[in-house]
Amino acid sequence: MTAQSSRPRRFGADFVEARRHRYGKRPPQDRQLTYDIAVQDEHAAWRQWLDDQLALLPDRASEALANKVWLDEHFWPVNFELATGAGLRAAGLRMVYEEVWDGLSPDWTVLSDSGTPLAFVEVHTDMPAPETFGQMRAWHGLVERIKEIPVPVLLQLASAKPVSPPDPRTAKKIAQDLSRELLSGRPGSTFWTQGYTFLVMQDPRREVAAKLGMHACFDPPSSRAGSVTAQRLMEGITEKVRKYKSLAARYEVPLIVAVGAHRFTGVTLQQLDDVLTGLPAPKITFQFNAGDPFIGQQSVNMAPVPPWEGPSDLSGLLWIANQLPFDLTGRPNPAARRRMPAALMASRAGR
């Protein structure tokens, strides 16, 4: 009997039923943003993968990760830590999770047959600004209030600067004002209320009617519009190296940082590679949704972008894809003191 088969499933049918019973009747703004992944049938394979990975960890570590994986601020860090372990395992390496060495506990330690360290692997997640999750929930609250207006219109905000979501009391007043105006029968395509400007948008494909029937639809700001940059990710890598470089030096083993990006950041492997290799000219990328009235601005120096000078104590990076099967892609550091293990230099699925 394997460890996976000997442990009961944490995120099976009973978990889904309990989650739906506890949170399903709450409005979206009062639920974690991970709720759909926790309960929808289309994400069953994801939940099974989480179960499989947690079953391979010691009981205490497995329990700790299972208790926080469905919290918005921990969902991707937990997934990326598990994905890194899965990738190391798929590479044929023997490793241990959060083992303490000289007072420090790297996320993963690759071990020799005799149990001594062969490499330390620390995981870093590039996360959006902490306020992002709260803003998205607040906008969801306004979406739900406007949805109660029995008029089939599509509404978006207009603004020439960043817009913060209203608090619950203001959201209630906004919905009341919009309901009164939309039901008055007076023609109009612009409405001003509580410091916000709402526009009635064209809906040529009748997507509003198809989605909500005879109800208003508000397409809110995404709370993540703006330029996409790997700068914060690189700062996180540098901080990981600063913390663990002495440990790697004492044991004379490679130090590897596995990195992944929360989907809200928009950062991809291409952005990472552009930083590592440099560019003949800057490349500017913005992300936004249709409901974003303002996507930001950025000054650009048109000079060539030099390659990132990675610290010599960093043996290499592992990029973690943010969707199943969480492929790992190796990026060795050519200036490293200690070389990255060959088994980690190629792309491989973290199964």
Q: Which tens digits make up the pLDDT trace of 144-189?
A: 999 999 998 999 999 999 999 999 999 999 999 999 999 998 878 9
Helices 44-54 and 59-68 pack at an angle, to 10 degrees, of: 150
pLDDT category at 1 given cuts 50, 70, 90 is very low
Angstrom distance (rounded) from CA 298 to CA 349: 36
290 pLDDT band, cuts 50/70/90, is confident
DSSP bridge pairs for 261:
126
Go through 52-85 and write b for each residue having 16 or more CB atoms within 10 A of its CB, e for each that does not: ebbbbbeeeebeebbeebbebebbbbbbbbbbbb
Neighbours of 224 (CB within 10 A): 20
Instruction: Give the per-residue pLDDT at 314.
Output: 98
The answer to whether the CB of 304 falls within 8 A of the CB of 279 is yes
pLDDT over threshold 60, residue 85: yes
CB of 117 closer than 8 Å to CB of 251: yes
pLDDT tier, 5 (very low <50, low <70, confident <90, very high otherwise): very low
CA–CA gap between residue 103 and residue 301 (Å, rounded): 44
Cβ-count burial 314-337 (b if 16+ within 10 Å, e if not):
bbbbbbbbbebbbbbbbbbbeebb
Give alpha helix (H) positions in 91-126.
none
Q: Is the pTM of this model over 0.75?
A: yes
Give the span between the Cα atoms of 35 and 24, in whole angstroms. 9
- The answer to whether 96 and 109 have CB atoms below 8 angstroms apart is yes
Q: Which of 84-93, 123-132, 283-292 has the lowest mean pLDDT?
A: 283-292
